[in-house]
Amino acid sequence: MLSQVKSITKKSDDISGWYNDVIEKAKLAEHGPVKGTMIIRPYGYAIWEAIQKGLDIKIKGLGAQNAYFPLFIPYSFLEKEKTHVKGFSPELAVVTHAGGEELKEAVVVRPTSETIMYDAYSRWIQSFRDLPLAINQWNNVVRWEKRPYMFLRTTEFLWQEGHTAHQTTQEAQQMTEDALEMYVDFYQQTLGIFGYAGKKSETEKFAGADQTLTYEILAPDGKVIQGCTSHNLGQNFAKAFNIKYQSKEGKEEYVWQTSWGYTARSIGALIMAHGDDNGLILPLYIASVQVVIIPILSKESIYLRKVYATCGIEEILSDTGRTEFVGGRQEAKDYFDLYTLSSVFMPLSKFVEDFCDQSEKERVIIWHSRYDRMRTKTGLLDIRTNSVLDTKVMEKHFGSEIQKLIEKEMN
């Protein structure tokens, strides 16, 4: 293996220091000006976009449609469900003044959307023909955090929240279980993160729920990360918000409800589960860039043209416009253009980097800390012999021998 990137704390020495170093080095995020907030940088947000893209398909597979509800919620809405408001009170951000004057009623910055959505559900649901109703939101919520930890515990965080209404308790319980199964499958098959799926205790379940199912992930330091939750709300909110429907028999009945959510905390779990002493490691389907080509070139731009033809690469490149380009000479961008490698499984993004003011060693270290899925170093000899050195694969299969070769080449 390559020697540890010196600017990153060793994972086994200080997991917290290592975690923060990886986020900083990979340029995923940084602290916001208000305690507990976080600025998610483009490379970090690209991970969330990939998660959204994959999970949204599964959510719609459950029959849910996407919508959006307001960020501000009347405080009186939360008070309608006593257990709910009691559970969230310590975390609420409450607005009492706006527009230069005191508000007639305080409003809460969305901690979750049950109350504001179910106020609408009480109008939208009138008959059994309106059921089941399944609405999903991709949004941000605020829960005031006294001990912030980037991605894992922040005052404001990104998530999705699904909310459903059903005719029977059996349907609601099935949806609760189906939602959890969806999350577990996504964690395991897409993110490569394995944990424990189970039921929360009575003291830990969601405020206002009859039952909470969860997927818990064990972090390297022995702490547990809550990966997601799925709640069977019973008829608690239906009675609080008077959500009734007329059954086929003509009777007026309360609906049975569920809510379930998945947050950007999963990015923190990704870092913890897969990262190593050199930095960030991402699963193939989540990485925004899977292939990085590092040209080892003289300054004459004619060689940039030749790299494009290396290893018959022109035969497997397809113009999809997903490739990123950062820094360097304009000629490089012109010659390489916007291309991505194609695969039978998914399109692979490639990145041709050209940091002309940095040494090869510095460039390799930068990409090693961000962990591209495959890194190739292409120089004149490679062009002449029509070959490419796949550094990652060589490290895996040839270990110390390729390490000696790389160190010799970089000195």
| Together in a domain, 265 and 394 | no
Q: Answer yes or no: do 71 and 178 share one domain.
A: yes
pLDDT of 307 above 50: no
Is 179 among the domain residues? yes
Q: Is the pLDDT of residue 238 over 50?
A: yes
Report the percentage of the chain scoring pLDDT > 90. Answer: 59
Q: What is the CATH number of the domain that holds 178?
A: 3.30.930.10
Same domain, 268 and 398: no
Whether 265 and 295 share a structural domain = no
**168 is in which domain, residue-wise?**
15-274
pLDDT per residue over 107-164, tens digit each?
999 999 999 999 999 999 999 999 999 999 999 999 999 899 999 999 999 999 999 9
Is residue 333's pLDDT more than 80? no
Domain match, 259 and 385 both? no
100 falls within a domain: yes
Residue 281 to residue 277: CA distance in whole angstroms? 10
Check residue 79 and give its pLDDT. 87
For residues 78 and 214, state if they share a domain.
yes
- Rounded CA-CA distance 91/84 in Å is 12
- Chain segment 338-383, per-residue pLDDT in tens: 223 223 223 444 444 444 455 555 555 555 555 544 444 445 455 4
Does 269 share its domain with 323?
Answer: no
Residues 322 and 405 in one domain: yes
The domain tally of the chain equals 2
Domain for residue 123, yes or no? yes
CA dihedral angle for residue 299, residue 302, residue 306, residue 307, rounded to 10 degrees: 30
Same domain flag for 309 and 199: no
CATH of the domain at 310: 3.40.50
8 vs 152: which has the higher pLDDT = 152
pLDDT of 399 strictly over 60:
no
The DSSP-derived string for 203-257 is: TTS-TT-SEEEEEEEE-TTS-EEEEEEEEEEETHHHHHTT-EEE-TTS-EEE-EE
Cα–Cα dist 328/325, whole Å:
9
What is the pLDDT confidence band of residue 391, given thresholds at 50, 70 and 90? very low
Same domain, yes or no: 237 and 363:
no
